[in-house]
Amino acid sequence: MDTYARFPLELVRGRGVWLWDQAGRRYLDGMAGIAVCTLGHSDRVLRRQLNRQLGRLQHVSNLYGIPEQEELARAICARSCADRVFFCNSGAEANEAAIKLARKHGHMVRGIAEPLILTAHASFHGRTLAAVSATGQPKYHQGFEPMVQGFRHFPYNDTSAFEALLAAAEADGPRVAAVLLEPLQGEGGVNPGDPAFFQRVRQLCDAHNILLIFDEVQIGVGRSGRWWGYEQLGVEPDAFTMAKGLGGGIPIGALAVKAAVDHFRPGDHASTFGGNPFACRAGLTVLAEIERRNLLSQVRDRGALLEDLLHGLIDRHPNLLVESRGWGLLQGLVLREGGPSAPDVVKAAMDLGLLLVSAGPNVVRVVPPLVIKPKQLRKLVERLELALQSLA
Ligand SMILES: *Cc1c(COP(=O)(O)O)cnc(C)c1O
């Protein structure tokens, strides 16, 4: 169906940070399938592990024990504040699970008949009906009303607006089950969370026994240079979701929770495909390779290099560019109003052999595979500069 405004480009092969189209033209991948292809394309180790898993077992059912799933759950918990994990297949599904958990917390723990979940303006939580209702961007709601009820939105990083909304919602007694936030808003324009704001939200959630849930679907699994975005903020969530980077290109999502808020009981939630041996093998391999190749510290170094290179670009083109912002290898380049738009820049870069993705009308998102090398980052920013020059 015609759900995507697609570019006239078909990619048929990939290796590392490079992609090729049908005519054999080569593209430098600066967007990694939108923050998905953690290890780049056709990674040797991922290929070997998945081939082996294909020769052993792909799918059984969650009616049976799945050793690969248990191992991946342990691996996630060992690297985070979580104690238990539910597996699904995408970011939206992971957030659906989080929303159900939040509502159960509201009913069971706080005794709320109609619990509310507070989320931010400019957030992005996915396209299923509840996840899109949680999403604080009216353009994604249009044409699909009525939205799922029980969500209230407030400006991101705005402590007093959050305090006011919470106070109003709780004026006649318990009403709020959870606060759902991205540690860094990806889709909404690459807006990093403010530690002071997040610490205040954590404090208020603790005081009211409200769940604090983080959507780590884009920034989690190493993209920030730490395993999880929340490590940049000095607060731990009660639960968090992940998906994009976890499978390195194989669909997998997860909700990870602390033991104290593990409210799901048999029958509460389920997924046919969720956590099957094949997808979990992909997740296990990605986590192991991030460690074996020391990618977390590499991402911090290369993120700093990318920031430097983008700052150079901004200095040379102050008439087109405002600033860059982000964490690690998720950086947003903010364009000046009145000049070329982010989609214009993405299109011009594609014509010059560089793939990027916009985050709203005026932010170009640079989200390369985590394995990108310094030389390739320099080439990426060179091509980006040529694209800007072609539009100036
Ligand atoms: C991409 C994204 C989602 C949705 O993930 P899907 O796998 O497309 O359902 C949810 N939250 C955030 C923060 C995302 O970036």
241-262: per-residue pLDDT in tens? 999 999 999 999 999 999 999 9
Is residue 366 domain-resident?
Answer: yes
Give the structural domain span for 274.
46-292
Residues 307 and 252 in one domain: no
Q: Is the peptide bond before 343 cis (omega within 30 degrees of 0)?
A: no
**How many other CB atoms sit within 10 Å of the CB of residue 283?**
28
DSSP state of 14: E
* Any atom of ligand 1 within 6 Å of the Cβ of 99: no
Does residue 188's CB lie within 6 angstroms of at least one atom of ligand 1? no
Active site residue 373: no
Taking only the tens place, the pLDDT of each residue in 378-391 is 999 999 999 999 99
Question: For residue 39, is it within any domain?
Answer: no
139 is catalytic: no
In this structure, is residue 1 part of a structural domain? no
Determine the distance separating the centroid of ligand 1 and the alpha carbon of 55, expressed in angstroms: 31
Q: Is 191 in the pocket of ligand 1 (CB under 6 A)?
A: no
Distance CA 119, CA 18 (A): 37
Atom of ligand 1 nearest to the CA of 186: 15
Last residue within a domain, chosen from 275, 292, 309: 292
Which CATH number do you get for residue 346? 3.90.1150.10
Q: How far apart are CA 220 and CA 183, in angstroms?
A: 9
pLDDT tens-digit readout, 347-369:
999 999 999 999 999 999 999 99
Task: Using alpha carbons, select from 356, 349, 326, 307 the residue that is nearest to residue 30.
Answer: 356
pLDDT score of 30: 98
Of the three residues 256, 276, 292, the one that is the final residue of a domain is 292
Q: Are residues 15 and 51 in the same domain?
A: no
**Per-residue pLDDT reduced to its tens digit, 1-39:** 999 999 999 999 999 999 999 999 999 999 999 999 999
Structural tokens at position 141: 């709601």
Q: Which helix (H) or strand (E) element contains residue 133?
A: helix 129-134
What is the CA(264)–ligand 1 centre distance, in A?
23
Residue 151's pLDDT band, with cuts at 50, 70 and 90, is very high
Average pLDDT over residues 260-284: 98
**CATH number, domain with residue 221:** 3.40.640.10
Residue of 43, 154, 198, 215 marked catalytic: 215
Task: State the pLDDT at residue 392.
Answer: 83
* Angle between helix 295-316 and helix 277-292 axes, rounded to 10 deg: 70
User: Which two structure tokens, joined as six digits, stand for 275?
Assistant: 């956590």
Per residue in 177-196, pLDDT (tens digit) is 999 999 999 999 999 999 99
Supply the pLDDT for residue 96: 98
Cα 237 to Cα 208: distance, rounded to the nearest angstrom? 15
Query: In the prediction, which pLDDT does 270 show?
Result: 98
- Are 208 and 320 part of one and the same domain? no
CB of 359 within 6 A of ligand 1: the answer is no
For the Cβ of 186 lying below 6 angstroms from any atom of ligand 1, the answer is yes
